[in-house]
Amino acid sequence: MARFIVRRSLSAIALLFAVSVVVFGIFEVIPSYNPARAIAGRNANPATVQEVSHKFGFDKPVYIQYANTMKLIFTGQVIDYQDDLNVVDQFAHKFPVTLSLVIPAALLWFGLAVVFGSISALRAGKFADRAVMVGAILGVSVPVFLLAALLLYVFAFKLSWFPNTGYSGLSNPTQWAYHLILPWIAIAALSIGFYSRVLRSSILDMSTQDFVRTARAKGLSGGQVFRRHILRNSMMPIITMFGLDFALLLGGAALVTETVFNLPGIGQYEAQAIGNLDVPPILVGAMFTAFFVVLFGAFSDILYALLDPRIRLTG
Amino acid sequence: MTDTTGVISAGAAEPAPVAEPRTVGVGPYQLAWRRLRRNKVAMAFGSLFLVLVAMCFLAPVYSKDIAKIGANTNNVTGTITVGGKQENVVSTDGVPIGPTFTRHYFFGADENGRDLAVRLLYGGRTSLIIGGIATLIIIVLGTLVGLLTGFFRGPVDATLRPLMELIWSFPVVILGVSLGTALALGGIGPIKGNSLLIPALIIGVVYIPYLGKPIRGEVLRLREQDFVEAARAQGMGPWRIMLTEILPNAASTIIVFVPMMLAYSILLESYLSFLGAGVQAPNASWGTLISDGLNYISTTPTFSLIPGAMLVLTVLAVNVVGDGVRDALDPRAQIRIKT
Amino acid sequence: MAERLLDVESLKVTFATEDGLVHAVDDVSFTLDRGEVLALVGESGSGKSVTVMTLMGLTRSPNARFEGSARLRGEELVTAPDEKLEKIRGREIAMIFQDPISSLSPVMRVGDQIVEQIRAHEKVSKAEAMDRAVNLMERVGIPRARDRARSYPHEFSGGMRQRVMIALALSLSPSVLIADEPTTALDVTIQAQILQEIKDLREQSDSGVIFVTHDLGVVADVADRVLVMYAGRVVEQGTLDEIFYDPQHPYTWGLLGSVTRMDRNPPHRLPAIPGLPPSLLNAPVGCHFRPRCPRAFDRCTEVPLLESRVEGTPEHVDRCWLEVSEKRRRREVEGRIGLAAGTVA
């Protein structure tokens, strides 16, 4: 276990390093990109731009700039170009909003996927099964922002069942949930179908395994056999997938969903930064997400090893 | 006259062969094709896809001959005759005309008086071209990387594999958007910033590991098999082995990935364009159309919903066909006996 | 007179498949009394596994059809509702499956799996059930049972795993024990140990045992009576002596002929039964064995009736039209019973 943690930590560091280099490098490539000008303001004269450039170290060689930026990030002092705010602070401030979006959505998605996947497998070939299959294919064919926009239009605008956009703090739980229901649905709706199908496949495979036959031979009821033997073993593939997808959710769907629903989370922050070519938030955001990818990857692997005693944790 | 090896020399008349029962084995791909043909749903959606593609690629024809208006032609002050009446394309208080379902402004106009149907078809063409090129990149490079990292150990694996892992772990949207934004401004090398190749390249590169990793797995498995040993013993060089022995066996995996990657690519393009990091003005794609249209969602939802519907329909068709291909190539036993 | 435990009469199991009907079990009848071991012999595909699994209702599925009857102490099993069968499984009839590594759940500790069986039928505490499980494991010869009960199946050797399966099957002292090729997946030395276990069990408990196997050596060691199946049908049935010393069916001769015997000189070649078992989708007309039988003649296109043809042994039945004298004359090859290769009539 210790070795596992060490190896994963090392690969996390390596990944973060690589990610930061890549993102930094990408923005160095743009010839017309001039952060000094962005900071100095549109109408600044060349002298001011030069001053700003010098102050921020933009006139130094690339690798020194990189080193400096990294130092700033890890000491929590990095400032964004656009609004002169501390990026790390901003992230800390906005992260809870993103969590409010992402965690319940993920629970919803996973929970419903287990339900639908089980129903789909138990009623294989019948209507309920086909309905889930259709849902699954639709889910992976619709971009999140389109679904989000559609939900907003129908349920918030036309029917006024839900508020238009915006976020409400946790202090008022009902309001908080009320504002987040549509975003939760938007995110969950996409993946439920897919996960249900994977689970369904798993369950059908498991049902023909020998040990399931033994379980039946013991005189256990159908329900007992299903819950204790089939379902438990079938969940492994979706658990591993879930870890990775959750992390990617932070870096992807969250971005887009927060933009459409105007939720002030890190996704919206990153999206705005990208629009403004504001490198520091993009950099921090990329590293942040990459970190979660490794973290959740490790969690999945650990969970998998816990569930299946045949698996030994390897680096 | 036959020579000593028994080969009948040219010119000898051959009697018509007697019909005999065909014992020719049907290859797995032929069997799969037959299975696919029997899958009516997949066939229907496949046809739908082809129809959509054809429509989009005929955009210039539609623009020139039917709607008689270009994709970017503003027409704020124009008027057209609808049902006998004369109507403003864009009304005096700025509200564009809705769908007319006639040759002109079939789906209505946007705030600049542009014909939405024309833009829809051109946009579709853009989205499909980008998706297609990206898929091509993914298939070619993904297979190559998978083959190389799976077959060769040592330095090749050591350099390519971490690179693949890095791209894989990078959140797709952030990577794509960063690259998209950066390259949209400056272009890369000889390719200009607003070229369609930029999003295509970005999407292609981002998804290479999605094919590369499974192929690598396949190759790792295949290279341990006896027939590879035999080929090596015959003196075949590594490249030949990869091409003639391993690649054909990995082919079914690759085939399954083609529709999947096409669907992913088209979708990613829409995400990038939505965030402004994909297709740049004056080009339009379904993603940009949806994005622009969202500004007017409260007044004219059709601006974004119609391109949205086209996008979903297209990706759906690709996914259904993809499912059909997967089922055709990997049939489970039909008999399900519950023990 | 020992109690009659099982009474199977004209059992038929048919599966509907994409390619047609498969008559996996065709008119099988037998009985089982307390304390006796009935060996069910046949190749893969003979229907022996389907037969025994049907007794426990494990072959029920949307495309399976059942006819005939199987009564456990008078209670009908074939048409019994699932709830009733659930009470019988594990408790009245228990099964030792063939491949212990795949037949035991890989994610549950071994002790827990036995506990699960016990608690499925009896209201006892987990602790008590675990005590009983440990006891059982000791009884079947697993050392340090208390510790090993906390291990997982993959941490045991093949022989030990099979002992776990035996412990599992015995946990509720069932009247009928079915062993479905319990030694096939094990190597020979372990086989002997497991067989010894099963024989000991027969001494100790009072159960009737159905032993499914394709290995005649095992049959000779363990069985009281033998049922030979081929392509879904019973082709011969009798006591151990009757089958080994006076076999009436050519298939039985073939099986016997292909066993090496230590008390004879080895033949030049072990006579093997030529050909392959028939497809159950397109079974041969009449006697299923006809295409492979060197003694087949024109009457064989009519399904031979299962009846006793040897005088004085009404329980010794077979499905072969040949006269008994003819059978006795033709069944030897090089001085031992076997199936001669020859042209099919």
Q: Could you report the per-residue pLDDT of A106-135, keeping only the tens digit for each?
A: 999 999 999 999 988 888 878 888 888 888
What average pLDDT does chain B have? 78
pTM, rounded to two decimals: 0.79
Q: How sure is the predictor about A23, in pLDDT bands with cuts at 50, 70 and 90?
A: confident
User: Residue B99 has what pLDDT?
Assistant: 75
From chain B, the residues in CB contact with A155 under 8 A are: none
CB A23 within 8 A of CB A283: yes
- Interval A219-258: pLDDT, tens: 998 889 998 899 888 888 888 788 878 888 877 778 888 8
User: Residue A59 has what pLDDT?
Assistant: 66
Across the A:C interface, residue pairs with CB atoms under 8 Å apart total 68
Q: How sure is the predictor about B8, in pLDDT bands with cuts at 50, 70 and 90?
A: very low
User: Residue B107 has what pLDDT?
Assistant: 79
pLDDT at B335 over 60: no
User: Residue A269 has what pLDDT?
Assistant: 87
Contact criterion met (CB < 8 Å) for B290 and A271:
no
For residues B190 and B169, give the distance between their C-alpha atoms in angstroms, rounded to a whole number.
Answer: 29
For residues B209 and B169, give the distance between their C-alpha atoms in angstroms, rounded to a whole number.
Answer: 9
Q: CB atoms < 10 A from the CB of C127, how many?
A: 9
From chain C, the residues in CB contact with B336 under 8 A are: 61, 63
List, in sequence order, every beta strand (DSSP E) within chain B.
79-82, 85-88
- Interval C240-295: pLDDT, tens: 999 998 888 989 888 888 777 777 676 666 667 777 888 888 888 888 888 888 88
- A interface toward C at CB cutoff 8 Å? 209-211, 213-222, 224, 228-229, 232-233, 307-310
> What tokens does C161 get?
């795993």
A233's CB contacts (< 8 A; 6+ apart) are A202, A206, A209, C105, C106, C107
B294 touching A (Cβ < 8 Å): yes
- Interval B35-73: pLDDT, tens: 888 888 889 999 999 999 998 998 888 877 777 777 777
Residue in A32, A152, A285 nearest the CB of B174: A285
From chain A, the residues in CB contact with C102 under 8 A are: 209-211
Asked if the ipTM is above 0.90, the reply is no
Contact criterion met (CB < 8 Å) for C15 and B339:
no
User: Residue A18 has what pLDDT?
Assistant: 83
Residue in C56, C83, C152 nearest the CB of A217: C56
> What tokens does A45 get?
């004269």
pLDDT at C176 over 60: yes
For residues B203 and B268, give the distance between their C-alpha atoms in angstroms, rounded to a whole number.
Answer: 7
User: Residue A12 has what pLDDT?
Assistant: 81
User: Residue B10 has what pLDDT?
Assistant: 38
pLDDT at B1 over 50: no
B333 touching C (Cβ < 8 Å): no
pLDDT at B209 over 50: yes
User: Residue A34 has what pLDDT?
Assistant: 65
pLDDT at A162 over 80: no
From chain A, the residues in CB contact with B267 under 8 A are: 141, 143
User: Residue A215 has what pLDDT?
Assistant: 93
Residue in B335, B336, B339 nearest the CB of C59: B339
User: Residue A180 has what pLDDT?
Assistant: 85
Report the relative pairing of strands C93-96 and C176-180 from DSSP bridges.
parallel
- Interval A38-62: pLDDT, tens: 666 666 677 777 776 766 666 667 7
User: Residue C27 has what pLDDT?
Assistant: 92
Beta bridge partners of residue C4, listed in sequence order = C33
Contact criterion met (CB < 8 Å) for A30 and B305:
no
For residues A153 and B295, give the distance between their C-alpha atoms in angstroms, rounded to a whole number.
Answer: 12
User: Residue C56 has what pLDDT?
Assistant: 92
> What tokens does B234 get?
């015959």
Report the relative pairing of strands C225-230 and C64-72 from DSSP bridges.
unpaired
For residues B254 and B263, give the distance between their C-alpha atoms in angstroms, rounded to a whole number.
Answer: 15
From chain B, the residues in CB contact with C58 under 8 A are: 339
Secondary structure letter of residue A82 according to DSSP: T
C55/B221: higher pLDDT: C55
Please tell me which chains touch A, using 3 or more CB pairs under 8 Å as the contact test: B, C
pLDDT at B275 over 50: yes
- Interval C51-86: pLDDT, tens: 999 999 999 988 899 999 999 998 999 999 999 999
Mean pLDDT, range B286-314, rounded to an integer:
86
Secondary structure letter of residue B115 according to DSSP: B
Q: Among A140-149, A183-192, B92-101, which stretch is predicted with the lowest mean pLDDT?
A: B92-101
Secondary structure letter of residue B15 according to DSSP: P
C117 touching A (Cβ < 8 Å): yes
User: Residue B22 has what pLDDT?
Assistant: 40
**Does an H or E element contain B7, and which?**
none
Q: What residue type is assigned to position A17 of the chain?
A: F
Q: Which strands form C75-76's sheet, in the order they lie side by side?
A: C20-33, C4-17, C64-72, C75-76
From chain A, the residues in CB contact with C181 under 8 A are: none
- Interval A62-102: pLDDT, tens: 777 777 777 777 777 777 766 778 888 888 888 888 888 88
pLDDT at A35 over 50: yes
Give the minimum alpha-carbon distance from C100 to chain A in angstroms, rounded to a whole number: 9
Residue in B334, B337, B339 nearest the CB of C18: B334
Mean pLDDT, range C164-188, rounded to an integer:
88
C287/A276: higher pLDDT: C287
User: Residue C1 has what pLDDT?
Assistant: 61
User: Residue B20 has what pLDDT?
Assistant: 38
For residues C275 and A155, give the distance between their C-alpha atoms in angstroms, rounded to a whole number.
Answer: 71
pLDDT at B96 over 80: no
- Interval B73-86: pLDDT, tens: 777 677 777 666 77
- Interval A167-184: pLDDT, tens: 777 777 777 888 888 889
Which range of B105-109, B270-274, C223-227, C331-335 scores highest in mean pLDDT? It is C223-227
User: Residue B5 has what pLDDT?
Assistant: 37
C285's CB contacts (< 8 A; 6+ apart) are C301
Contact criterion met (CB < 8 Å) for B338 and C53:
no
pLDDT at C139 over 80: yes
For residues B328 and C169, give the distance between their C-alpha atoms in angstroms, rounded to a whole number.
Answer: 42
Mean pLDDT, range B119-147, rounded to an integer:
92
Q: Which of residues 247-266 of B touch A (CB under 8 A)?
A: 263
User: Residue A43 has what pLDDT?
Assistant: 64
Secondary structure letter of residue B88 according to DSSP: E
C185 touching A (Cβ < 8 Å): no
Report the relative pairing of strands B85-88 and C317-318 from DSSP bridges.
unpaired
User: Residue B317 has what pLDDT?
Assistant: 94
What are the C-alpha distances in Å from B29 to residues B32, B36, C323? Answer: 5, 10, 54
For residues C45 and C22, give the distance between their C-alpha atoms in angstroms, rounded to a whole number.
Answer: 11
Contact criterion met (CB < 8 Å) for A218 and C90:
yes
Q: How sure is the predictor about C116, in pLDDT bands with cuts at 50, 70 and 90?
A: very high
pLDDT at B262 over 70: yes
Give the minimum alpha-carbon distance from B250 to chain C in angstroms, rounded to a whole number: 29
- Phi then psi dihedrals of residue A161, to 5 deg: -75, -30
pLDDT at C336 over 50: yes
User: Residue B314 has what pLDDT?
Assistant: 95
CB C248 within 8 A of CB C309: yes
DSSP C46-91: SSHHHHHHHHTTTT--TTEEEEEEEEETTEE-TT--HHHHHHHBTT
Give the minimum alpha-carbon distance from B232 to chain C in angstroms, rounded to a whole number: 35
Give the minimum alpha-carbon distance from B317 to chain C in angstroms, rounded to a whole number: 29
pLDDT at A308 over 90: no
User: Residue A178 has what pLDDT?
Assistant: 81
For residues B37 and B160, give the distance between their C-alpha atoms in angstroms, rounded to a whole number.
Answer: 39
> What tokens does C228 get?
């030979």
Nearest residue on chain A to C155, alpha-carbon basis? A310
Residue among B296, B303, B173, B151 at smallest CA distance from B225: B151
Nearest residue on chain A to B176, alpha-carbon basis? A252
Render the burial of B232-245: b for 16+ CB within 10 Å, e for the rest. eeeebeeeebbeeb
B135/A9: higher pLDDT: B135
Helix (H, G, I), strand (E, B) or coil at C311: coil
Q: How sure is the predictor about B184, in pLDDT bands with cuts at 50, 70 and 90?
A: confident
